[in-house]
Structure 1
Amino acid sequence: MTTSWGEKYRAAKPARVTELEKPFAGIPAGAQLFIASPKVIDAYLRGIPPGRTKDVAAMREALAKKHKADATCPTSTAIFLRIVAESALERVAAGEAPSAVSPFWRVVEPGGALAQKLSCGPDFIARQRALEAAAKPSRKKADTA
């Protein structure tokens, strides 16, 4: 039986910090490495204001800093970001509005490798980014209101 992305999200281990015994992905031995979780990634994504985007490297840096680590694991971050995105897409397919799910498109680049792997493809991501950008109030309007 196939496990749904939502089940993978809910079954993930909690986030933790570990000390690297040997170098990994350009991170030196002895470094404190933050291993995120889908819930941590989801919370970070929901903290990005609509119409704004971040890249994965900035997300990893922010998460490491928040959890008092030297770095965030790039491998698990990519895996958990995909779990969050596909879980959100399952919910959209079940009838939920994109505005009600984790806004993974604020970090996943439409032209990036992850976008090509996702069940929605890059067009959905580009469309969500465009919709949020169009709905974002301009500073002039906000300042004069």
Structure 2
Amino acid sequence: MKAGTSWADKLRDGKQHQVKVVPINIAGMKKGQMMLVPSARIVDAFIRRLPEGRLLDTRELRARLARKYHTEVTCPITMGFILRIVAEAAWEARQAGAAKGDITPVWRVLDEDSLTLKKLPKAAAAFFHTRRAEEAA
């Protein structure tokens, strides 16, 4: 990340999603399938619309985005990078004192087994606490 660039800046960078043909068999995708290469903004917007108590795993998130954008698959490799941006931006917002309703609820998609949150131990602990509180409600 460039010096002075926040994760929120990366989230708002203006890059658009793309639809491409999968060029080779890779990461569970088959050559020739139509693939969504998501942008951070569409992933963030989708997660923000998840109601409290509604949990999805990343596989279901990719499937739903693929359906929404009329493709067969969503690139899992790009999704990993994008989820990192969304999670880091959510953590920045939380650290800045944003209200829960103003923070992207990444805890509804990322669980204790998430590789993304394993890179963010402080954020992970806070997000898991929020996830468990929603599950108990």
Could you tell me the TM-score, scaled by structure 2's length?
Answer: 0.89
Question: How far apart are the structure 1 equivalents of 2:52 and 2:40?
Answer: 20
Answer yes or no: is 1:133 the counterpart of 2:103. Answer: no
Paired letter, 1:113: L
Percentage of identical aligned residues: 33
Indicate the residue corresponding to 1:105 in structure 2. Answer: 107
Cα displacement (A) at 1:6: 1.1
Indicate the residue corresponding to 2:37 in structure 1. Answer: 35
Indicate the residue corresponding to 2:58 in structure 1. Answer: 56
Question: How far apart are the structure 2 equivalents of 1:5 and 1:58?
Answer: 24
**1:88 aligned to 65, 85, 90, which one?**
90
For residues 59-118 of structure 1, the C-alpha deviation after alignment (integer angstroms, 9 at most, x for no partner) is 000111111111000011111111011111111111112221100000001232222112
Indicate the residue corresponding to 1:6 in structure 2. Answer: 8
Paired letter, 1:37: S
Question: How far apart are the structure 2 equivalents of 1:120 and 1:50?
Answer: 22
Cα displacement (A) at 1:119: 5.3
Paired letter, 1:88: A
Alignment gaps of 5+ in structure 2: none
Q: How many residues align?
A: 135
Paired letter, 1:7: D
Question: How far apart are the structure 1 equivalents of 2:36 and 2:29?
Answer: 11
Answer yes or no: is 1:20 the counterpart of 2:11. Answer: no
After TM superposition, which residue ranges in structure 1, 4 or more long, deviate above 6 angstroms? none
Cα displacement (A) at 1:2: 4.4
Could you tell me the TM-score, scaled by structure 1's length?
Answer: 0.85
CA RMSD of superposed structures (Å): 1.6
Kept after mapping to 1: 8 A contact 2:107/2:131: yes
For residues 18-68 of structure 1, the C-alpha deviation after alignment (integer angstroms, 9 at most, x for no partner) is 112222212111110101111111111122110121100000001111111
Paired letter, 1:25: A
Indicate the residue corresponding to 2:81 in structure 1. Answer: 79
Summarize the Cα distance change of 1:54–1:85 in structure 2 as closer, same or farther, 3 Å threshold. Answer: same
